[in-house]
Amino acid sequence: MTKLRSKDLLGMQQLEADEINLILDTARTMKQIMQSGNKKTAHLQGKSAITLFYENSTRTRLSFENAAKYMGCNTGSISTSGSSIQKGESLLDTAVTIDRMATDFIVIRHPHAGAPHYLAPRVNASIINAGDGMNEHPTQSLLDLYTMRDKLGRLDGLKVAIIGDISHSRVARSNLWALKKLGSEVYVSGPGTMLPVQFAQTGAHVCHRVADAVEGADVVMGLRIQLERQEAGLFPSVPEYSRFYGISPEVLRLAKPQALLMHPGPANHGVELPTEVYNCDQSVISEQVTNGVAVRMAVLYLLNIRRNS
Amino acid sequence: MKLIIKNATTVRPCQAGASPQEQQDCLRQETVYIQDGLFSQAFAEDPDTLVIDARGLHVLPGLIDAHAHLRDPGFEYKEDIESGTASAARGGFTTVACMPNTSPVCDNETVVRYIKDKAARVGTVNVWPIGAASKGQKGQQITEIGLMKEAGIVAVSDDGAPVSTADLMRKAMTYAADFNLTVLDHCEDKSLAHGGAMNEGYNSTVMGVQGIPTAAEDIMIARDIILAEYLELPVHICHVSTSSGVELIRQAKARGVKVTCETCPHYFTLTDDACLGFNTLARVNPPLRRPKDVAAIIEGLADGTIDIIATDHAPHHQDEKDLEFDQAANGMIGFETAWQLAYTKLVKTNQLSLADLARVMSQAPNQLFKQDRGSLTIGRPADITIIDLSRRVTVDRFKMRSRSKNSPYHGMSVDSDIAYTIVGGKVVYHG
């Protein structure tokens, strides 16, 4: 296995286990380049990547842009404000416009599930999904997997607990699809109002008490709670949420002693976890950010090989 | 103008649950005579008589679609009365009842007369307008149902939107009854549906798409049944898609509640698997459901719980379908596949008979609207659909006569085809 099968990265549902391992192996080299003090390669010289974001983002967008630049790729970015999207231009017309400027990679984040899948067959560029609605966020999953493998030495036989708003989480879905393929078990917990219907049918273990999900876990992952979900009535208050669904030090102690604490960010301190947990020795949250650049470099690098073949 | 259909196997409607012998008795070898647009006693052939040799073909009372969207006035870029009725004729329909969610809304006699006049001018088949239940379909005040009845409406509905409150539904049912009209309700509790784009279930969870639970439909069906029982008035439930909805209606009918209902070919043909890959052609409301719902819909048709197969023909322009799944419009065109899907999925599989289809696609819709069609009775208007059961067809959505091409059945093989569509004794389609 030296090549990805598709020109696009749409989701972890579409990647086979050997492709995931290829990306993670490649990312290890990329991380070395990142940390070498001379972050400049010629792998993507003469290529161009455009980030097309219909939702706000700090880390994902910057991570992709840095990943591209470290490999010599030209970058540009489009967001909803200040572009023709505000004039009502359709997603397809916008993407085709970008595509016809000889763009190699379009990194898209969109509030609607399936938007990248819709574009992929309609443009020449490689479509990279940077988050589509509640569906998938594959590079977040890849950086989570990279971090787990780096710290725990394997991705099979792990118990991974994901806590929070599972319904609206593309991170939870992408990690579930990936970890199942790699031989690990995913336990989820959160308020019943935030668990998707028939989730157990996906192979996930659904727990109504956070403690049951976390007990003996190798990884404990918190998810961001969108505070506007409270207005929608999905949870009654922040104090109630953090009391019953927050990852407190006591909850974290139920996991294995060396368990990793992860969070895709941005975190609400004091809601899904308190600051002392965010900063605890087991927390790998800031390393996740670093690894995010490495896996995105790997994705761009491998998609470029696929494009040239 | 005289017409003789020779060597015909005629199909008359049977009761639901009829015995094989009774169903067989509904099929007869006979000659059908038509004079001055009406079914007639036998007469001698003369040089002016058109003769159709229907050897090997089946002759049914003309199909009546109880639920369609012709999009005229206001959305002629999707469909208009001319293209819509041409599409209906191609699908074997001799009459279509059209829903009022046009622009302007069909909530007053002027729009009703516009539809009737245009249909008389450019339409190929009979068009029966359905008037809005509330002004502007806004769910606030009942419409001028009496004046619209005089102009030609056959029923009342806010289709597309449910009748929002129980109080308005009560008023509409009560007032419509003064004019011998039934209210047709699109059942959906909007607060539970949450703007969802597909059935809530395993597939919506996997795709990360907001789901619409079956409960959203069932709760509104239950409300309408309770009102019909309390008021002792009729109500008609549009496009039933859930197994639990079928059961609610079955129990209500057993108690003698005056509830009737329809389903559509997509609810006995497709499941929400059709949405996988974000296929917007499979987006429809109510959404495609689970295999157990499909089974219950077929069972409900077979035992007579479901009275009618309607199309919910819902044309949409490519620009409204070639989009992100969440953004795409709900609905699919249905005139040109309805008969074939019913025959292929229900009759070929021995779950319904041809005589059952004559009931659910002709007699029962006529009865819902209390009109004078849906039979082969002498003296009645000669609306006829002639079917060739020996043909096998591959559905090609781009060859359809509808102005829109949003059919999810493209490439599907189906049995039978329409040979003739005859409206008032006049051949409007022959293929």
The rounded distance, in Å, linking the Cα atoms of A115 and A91 is 8
CB B203 within 8 A of CB B293: no
CB A140 within 8 A of CB A151: no
Whether the pLDDT of residue A227 is over 90: the answer is no
- The percentage of chain A sitting over the pLDDT mark of 70, rounded to a whole number, equals 100
**CA dihedral of B146, B148, B149, B150, whole degrees rounded to 10:** 90
Closest residue by Cα to residue B93 from B61, B118, B70, B134: B61
The rounded distance, in Å, linking the Cα atoms of B405 and B131 is 26
Q: Can you give the pLDDT at residue B253?
A: 98
CB atoms A113 and B326 under 8 Å = yes
Instruction: List helix spans (H) across chain A.
Output: 17-34, 59-70, 91-99, 115-119, 138-152, 170-182, 210-214, 228-231, 238-245, 249-253, 275-278, 285-308
Catalytic center residues of B: 312
CB A248 within 8 A of CB A288: no
Q: Can you give the pLDDT at residue B269?
A: 98
Q: Can you give the pLDDT at residue A61?
A: 96
Whether the pLDDT of residue A84 is over 80: the answer is no
The rounded distance, in Å, linking the Cα atoms of B235 and B220 is 12
Q: Can you give the pLDDT at residue B248?
A: 98
Q: Where is A101: in which H helix or E strand?
A: none
Residue A40: partners with Cβ closer than 8 Å, 6 or more residues away? A70, A72
- Look at residue A289 and give its three-state secondary structure: helix
What CATH number belongs to A138-284? 3.40.50.1370
What CATH number belongs to B62-369? 3.20.20.140
Q: Can you give the pLDDT at residue B1?
A: 81
The one-character DSSP state at A104 is: S
Q: Can you give the pLDDT at residue B160?
A: 83
The rounded distance, in Å, linking the Cα atoms of B275 and B204 is 9
Entry pTM = 0.94
Q: Can you give the pLDDT at residue A86?
A: 78
The rounded distance, in Å, linking the Cα atoms of B305 and A180 is 44
Q: Does B365 touch chain A (CB under 8 A)?
A: no
Query: What is the architecture, at CATH level 2, of domain B2-58+381-430?
Result: Roll (2.30)
Residues from chain A that touch B200, judged by Cβ atoms under 8 A, are 197
CA-derived radius of gyration, chain A: 19
CB atoms A118 and B323 under 8 Å = yes
The rounded distance, in Å, linking the Cα atoms of A225 and B312 is 40
* Two domains, one topology: A17-136+289-308 and A138-284: yes
Q: Can you give the pLDDT at residue A232?
A: 81
CB atoms B324 and A170 under 8 Å = no
Residues from chain B that touch A117, judged by Cβ atoms under 8 A, are 277-278
Segment-wise mean pLDDT, segments of 10 residues, chain B, 431 residues: 95 95 95 97 94 97 98 98 98 98 98 98 98 96 97 95 92 98 97 95 97 98 98 98 98 98 98 98 98 98 98 97 96 98 98 97 98 97 98 97 98 98 98 93
Q: Where are the domains of chain A?
A: 17-136+289-308, 138-284
Distance separating the N- and C-terminal Cα atoms of chain A: 14
Specify burial of residue B227 (Cβ count, 10 A radius: 0-12, 13-18, 19+).
buried
Residue in B210, B278, B322 closest to A114 by CB:
B278
CB atoms A135 and B207 under 8 Å = yes
Q: Can you give the pLDDT at residue A304?
A: 97
Of A13-22, A221-230, B284-293, the least confident: A221-230
Find tokens 């647009």 and name the residue. Answer: B37
Closest residue by Cα to residue A130 from A147, A107, A113, A96: A107
- Look at residue B346 and give its three-state secondary structure: helix
CB atoms B208 and A136 under 8 Å = yes
Q: Tell me the two tokens of residue B344.
A: 């292929």
Specify burial of residue A206 (Cβ count, 10 A radius: 0-12, 13-18, 19+).
buried
Topology of domain A17-136+289-308, CATH: Rossmann fold (3.40.50)
Q: How far is A196 from chain B (nearest CA, A)?
A: 6
The residue-averaged pLDDT of A33-45 equals: 92
Residues from chain B that touch A113, judged by Cβ atoms under 8 A, are 207-209, 278, 325-326
